[in-house]
Amino acid sequence: MDFPSTETSLDIEGLTLAYDGKPALRDLTLRIPRHRVTAFIGPSGCGKSTLLRALNRLHDLDESVTRQGSIHLEGHDIHDPRVEVAELRRRVGMVFQTPNPFPMSIYDNVAFGLRLQGGLSKRRIDDVVEWALKSAALWEEVKGRLRASAWSLSGGQQQRLVIARTLAVEPEVLLLDEPASALDPISTLKIEELIGNLKSHLTLVLVTHNMQQAARVSDYTAFLHNGELVEYGSTDTLFTHPRLRRTENYITGRMVS
């Protein structure tokens, strides 16, 4: 799957990543398009989360990890020594499987990153908190109790709060690692709707075990197996006319691992 560089957000080239010398990703090359939803699918242990984490350098502190190859964000090498990792992680935000709001109020969760950046008036922070909560489709449910503890929210609301917290610092890319797998079906639907709405101004990358979910929300799908990129293409094509037998076996449930 190839996109012109003008439409590419993340350009992954020859990426090999190993834990203690054991490769989890093998020579992966793919381009992730801007303002689209790209899903990574594949059996457990195939390297989906490893690839997602590599995109905002979450492996940096893991001394067992070695890497070859490159990742460019908007044409710039994310491993360039001049890159500040905190700024990279602001631009490439990440939401994990289990909602992880901070032990503070709803408002303070969303304001957290803005206050760290500093220099914003109280009024401006109020505005951004409201905008982020609206963007995460949570505002109507919490506008009357912004000072309540984030932990008083349901699991699905907590996950949308975490998304609002991530959106508040205006990332360009949002990485979602099984964001709905701990949620009930109604909360899952809300997260899926939200993903669809966010792509008008964000690039989204989604790891999911749920193939129906990948089919519902993503524009492009990458199928990984044993750390290799097996097939990558438009979601419609990959699910209806996979090129390779391995992909077909996986999406039809004939491959379990």
Least distance to ligand ATP from the beta carbon of 182, Å?
13
| 35 contacts 204 by C-beta, under 8 angstroms | no
Q: Of 24 and 88, which has the nearer Cβ to ligand ATP? A: 24
Closer to ligand ATP by Cβ: residue 195 or 224:
224
- Cite the DSSP H helix spans in the chain: 48-54, 85-91, 106-117, 122-135, 139-142, 155-168, 185-198, 211-217, 235-240, 245-251
Residue 248 Cβ vs ligand ATP, minimum distance, rounded to whole Å: 19
Both tokens of residue 141? 């449910």
- The two beta strands, 228-234 and 76-77, are unpaired
Q: Name the site residues for ligand ATP (rule: CB under 6 A).
A: 19, 24, 42, 44-50, 64, 209
Residue 209 CB, nearest distance to ligand ATP (Å)? 6
Tell me the closest approach of the beta carbon of residue 35 to ligand ATP, in angstroms: 25
Q: Which of 222, 182, 183, 181 is nearest to 205 (CA)?
A: 222
Residue (125 or 182) nearer to ligand ATP, CB: 182
CB of 42 to ligand ATP, least distance (A): 6
The rounded distance, in Å, linking the Cα atoms of 217 and 245 is 24
The CB-of-220 to ligand ATP minimum distance in angstroms stands at 18
Which residue, 46 or 238, has its beta carbon nearer to ligand ATP? 46
Closer of 113 and 179 to ligand ATP (Cβ): 179
Instruction: Between 17 and 238, name the residue whose CB sits nearer to ligand ATP.
Output: 17
The set of long-range contacts for 59-62, using a CB threshold of 8 Å and a minimum separation of 24, is 59/17, 60/85, 62/19
* Cα dihedral sign, 188-189-193-194: negative
